[in-house]
Chains A and B, each alone.
Chain A
Amino acid sequence: MTETQITRKDALLYGGAAAGGLVVGGAAIAAVAVAVDNKKPPVEGAPIVAPYVEGDLPTSDPAARAWKGADRTYVALAPQQIAQPFLEKAGITSLDARALHNGAQVALLLEWDDDSVDDLDGIRRYHDAVAVQLPTRSGAPPALTMGAPGSPVHILQWRATWQRDIDSGGNTGVDQIYPAVVHDVMPDDVLPPKTAQLYWVGREAGNPLSQNVRSSPVEEVVAEGFGSVTHLPNQAAVGHGVNDDGRWRVVIAIPSARDGVGEPLAPGSSWPVAFAVWLGSEENRGGRKHIANWQTLQLEGK
């Protein structure tokens, strides 16, 4: 399978394209079926059609039966080489995407091959992650490059680190990175908790990245271009990611209403949607990521 290159020109072109969620399949070659639990192979270039389902969505279960009711779309990925710093070479070339909605919530299931689970951050040690990018408004899609000034995008990012924060109850620090570590006296050994906390400056300053106790592995942000990610005060995204066989299966879900963020993801509407994938083992982080071109997310009517 050839690698897909998205040039700056492509990005600007698609960013300014006419309304209607322009879909651009990267490589003009047939997708190779990597179906595991679906009879139908994922189709490249096809819209990601979210069937309407009654009741709760399987937002914390990537293996739920409900997902079998949604077709998978093959989404080509390419190394981000529009804004510095670049991702020099691709570690993967695609992800599979599908979606469901129930009128109140939209959920996506994203899958990609990764035989290295990277869920701790350390020195030169980075985490696996995936992100979904949606416009905040209907109409022409914003620039693929995480929007542009005055033309924001709504991004939902799931991180393996955050998943481990939740799964392990916040045990995701030095003791886990170096299991044989022996500590000298630390502030939390000798100081009252409130004072000791001051030595974790990022955490104390309220940086969402620095917390290890959290309720969702998905961060909800808005951006108006590379480097402008802004954490939303109201975090409504949920999700769950699992990798026990060399493949990440990650669910990301948000309320359809998108209160305070953008226009609702109403039943029957279509939206441009883009994705990004980070492989921790390949030192992916920040702009060093795999990106997909705009796809179409179709929410079926009730």
Chain B
Amino acid sequence: MAKVSNWQLGRDMEYPYAADRPKKQFTMIMDTNKCIACQSCTIACKSTWTWGKGQEFMLWNNIETKPYGFYPTGWDVNILELLGEQEWNGDVYSGETIFEAAPEGERVLGWAPAEEDWSHPNIGEDEPTGNAADTTYIPDNPHSMMWMYYLQRICNHCTYPACVAACPREAIYKRPEDGVVLVDQTRCRGYQECLTACPYKKTMFNLETRVSEKCIGCYPKLEQGLQTQCTTSCIGRLRLTNYLSAPDEIDPRKPADFLVHIRKIALPIYPQLGLEPNVYYIPPVHVPTKYLTQMFGPGVEKAVEMYRNAKDDPELLGLLMLFGATERIMHTWDVTGGVARAYDEDGEEIVAVPLREPTFVRPFEFATEVAGEPTTGYLHNT
């Protein structure tokens, strides 16, 4: 075991290999508040990468409803239960990671989903939780005591992947150029240790080729400066494919660095497991803090507050408006004169988006005259 630095935990931790951060790290930012679970991303991924025989149950990308949705079934509650109750001491994690809690004879604390666990990707869909007696059919506040939200899931292309740690063959590797985690298809011998180890359950076994496969971060697109299929197919424009700098090289002009490290509005998923996952979530604003803290760590309250105030923060608002505005990966952005602009690596403008779309307010008289409505209370499309 080596000592490695995990910034998400605010401390060093044990890992089977020495730290070797990539030049830049592939990352995805998800704004959970915008998702409607249309699964356009899931279909885009499936039809691009996993429509082959042997991949029937594979969804490298999936959307599940929290708290009762899982793919595979119980993926997060199972590892949380195995790990047991753990504590954060402020921003420093004082509990054990899945590497530190590994039992004798294992490199990682994990569990292996059964085949039926992979068979219900829509389990729990749209099921809310909370006490129905505490709510009303005509709620007196926009968010009643009942809640649910959609969680967008791909491989986290972790800085300290559990799949890499567990593979006895060293068949899984992290690309030094962009941090994308890949299974070497010539080297894997199908032991499925990665399926047991990955707490996010994002390595999968191909039934025809008998080796593991996983989300490849659409690297052929990345290499052309393009965002992933799940990002560009998202009709809610809630995803951003980007690169994160190493923690000691943070550049506030870069979108991911700004959201993750400067504004801290986008948070890692289950950081306490110790993998330093690189998909970051803007948490849903209507979900109890306790639940969100378990999933996204101690920064939840501040992130929610920041999101609620984004309308008064042009720099942040501009960046959020640029999500889904271009297929190309943006390297920097700025906001001037009410317009957000994204730039490529050479500083060339990729796209410009107004912070506020031009609107036309239909005159009140016009509405009544045309629609024949009573002259009180009808304002269409304001």
Q: Is B13 an interface residue (CB 8 A)?
A: no
CB distance from A177 to the nearest CB of B (A): 6
A229 touches B208 (CB 8 A): no
B168 touches A227 (CB 8 A): yes
Q: Is B193 an interface residue (CB 8 A)?
A: yes
Q: Is the interface of A mostly helix, strand, loop or mixed?
A: loop
Question: Which of A186, A201, A227, A286 is B53 in contact with, Cβ under 8 Å?
Answer: A186
Residues of A within 8 A of B193 (CB): 85, 286
Question: Which of B56, B104, B115, B210 is A209 in contact with, Cβ under 8 Å?
Answer: B210
Q: Is A173 an interface residue (CB 8 A)?
A: yes
Q: Bound state CA distance, A125 and B112, in angstroms?
A: 11
A123 touches B205 (CB 8 A): yes
Residues of A within 8 A of B169 (CB): 227, 229, 286
A207 touches B207 (CB 8 A): no
Q: Is A174 an interface residue (CB 8 A)?
A: yes
Residues of A within 8 A of B114 (CB): 123-124
B192 touches A86 (CB 8 A): no
Q: Is A234 an interface residue (CB 8 A)?
A: no
Among residues of A, the one whose C-beta sits closest to the C-beta of B210 is A121
Q: B104-130 vs A: 1/0 string, CB under 8 Å?
A: 111100001111001000000000000
Q: A260-292 vs B: 1/0 string, CB under 8 Å?
A: 000000000000000000000001011110000
CB distance from B164 to the nearest CB of A (A): 13
Residues of B within 8 A of A201 (CB): 185, 206, 209, 213
Q: Bound state CA distance, A105 and B166, in angstroms?
A: 38
B186 touches A173 (CB 8 A): no
- Are A88 and B105 CB-contacts (below 8 A) given A123-B114, A200-B54? yes
Question: Which of A84, A123, A187, A286 is B189 in contact with, Cβ under 8 Å?
Answer: A286
CB distance from B360 to the nearest CB of A (A): 46
A209 touches B211 (CB 8 A): yes
Instruction: Tell me the residues in window 141-191 of chain A with beta carbons closer than 8 Å to chain B beta carbons.
Output: 161, 173-174, 177, 181, 183, 186-188
Q: Is A20 an interface residue (CB 8 A)?
A: no
Instruction: Tell me the residues in window 172-204 of chain B with beta carbons closer than 8 Å to chain A beta carbons.
Output: 185-193, 195
Among residues of A, the one whose C-beta sits closest to the C-beta of B187 is A207
Q: Is A247 an interface residue (CB 8 A)?
A: no
Q: Bound state CA distance, A211 and B106, in angstroms?
A: 30
Residues of B within 8 A of A302 (CB): none
Choose among A177, A206, A286 the residue with the greatest number of B CB atoms under 10 Å from its CB: A286
B168 touches A202 (CB 8 A): no
B188 touches A202 (CB 8 A): yes
B210 touches A210 (CB 8 A): yes
A202 touches B185 (CB 8 A): yes
Q: Is B52 an interface residue (CB 8 A)?
A: yes
CB distance from A129 to the nearest CB of B (A): 11
A85 touches B168 (CB 8 A): yes
Residues of A within 8 A of B105 (CB): 81, 84-86, 88
Question: Which of B54, B166, B185 is A207 in contact with, Cβ under 8 Å?
Answer: B185
CB distance from A81 to the nearest CB of B (A): 6
CB distance from B207 to the nearest CB of A (A): 5
Interface residues contributed by chain B, number (CB under 8 Å): 38
- Are A209 and B205 CB-contacts (below 8 A) given A161-B210, A173-B53? no
- Are A186 and B51 CB-contacts (below 8 A) given A84-B105, A123-B113, A125-B115? yes
A207 touches B51 (CB 8 A): no
Q: Bound state CA distance, A227 and B114, in angstroms?
A: 25
Question: Which of B51, B53, B118, B188 is A123 in contact with, Cβ under 8 Å?
Answer: B118
- Are A174 and B189 CB-contacts (below 8 A) given A187-B52, A187-B53? no
B51 touches A202 (CB 8 A): no
Q: Bound state CA distance, A283 and B53, in angstroms?
A: 24
Choose among B55, B118, B187, B209 the residue with the greatest number of A CB atoms under 10 Å from its CB: B209
Residues of A within 8 A of B107 (CB): 84-85
CB distance from A213 to the nearest CB of B (A): 12
Among residues of B, the one whose C-beta sits closest to the C-beta of A226 is B168
Q: A84-107 vs B: 1/0 string, CB under 8 Å?
A: 111010000000000000000000
- Are A124 and B112 CB-contacts (below 8 A) given A209-B210, A285-B190, A285-B191? yes
A203 touches B189 (CB 8 A): no
- Are A210 and B170 CB-contacts (below 8 A) given A199-B51, A205-B185? no
Residues of A within 8 A of B118 (CB): 123
B185 touches A121 (CB 8 A): no
Q: Bound state CA distance, A277 and B213, in angstroms?
A: 26
Residues of B within 8 A of A125 (CB): 115
A188 touches B53 (CB 8 A): yes
CB distance from A114 to the nearest CB of B (A): 19
Among residues of A, the one whose C-beta sits closest to the C-beta of B171 is A227
Q: Bound state CA distance, A26 and B193, in angstroms?
A: 29
CB distance from A208 to the nearest CB of B (A): 9
Q: Bound state CA distance, A201 and B195, in angstroms?
A: 18
Q: Bound state CA distance, A14 and B292, in angstroms?
A: 54
Question: Which of B168, B191, B207, B211 is A122 in contact with, Cβ under 8 Å?
Answer: B207
CB distance from A290 to the nearest CB of B (A): 15
Q: 24 pairs across A/B with beta carbons < 8 Å?
A: A85-B105, A86-B105, A88-B105, A121-B190, A123-B115, A124-B112, A124-B114, A125-B115, A183-B56, A186-B51, A202-B210, A202-B213, A205-B185, A205-B186, A207-B185, A207-B186, A207-B209, A209-B189, A209-B190, A209-B209, A227-B170, A286-B191, A287-B168, A288-B191
Residues of A with Cβ closer than 8 Å to B?
A: 81, 83-86, 88, 121-126, 161, 173-174, 177, 181, 183, 186-188, 199-203, 205-207, 209-210, 212, 226-227, 229, 283, 285-288
- 10 A-B pairs with the lowest CB-CB distances in the bound complex, closest first: A86-B105, A199-B52, A202-B209, A286-B191, A210-B209, A123-B115, A202-B211, A205-B185, A173-B208, A121-B210
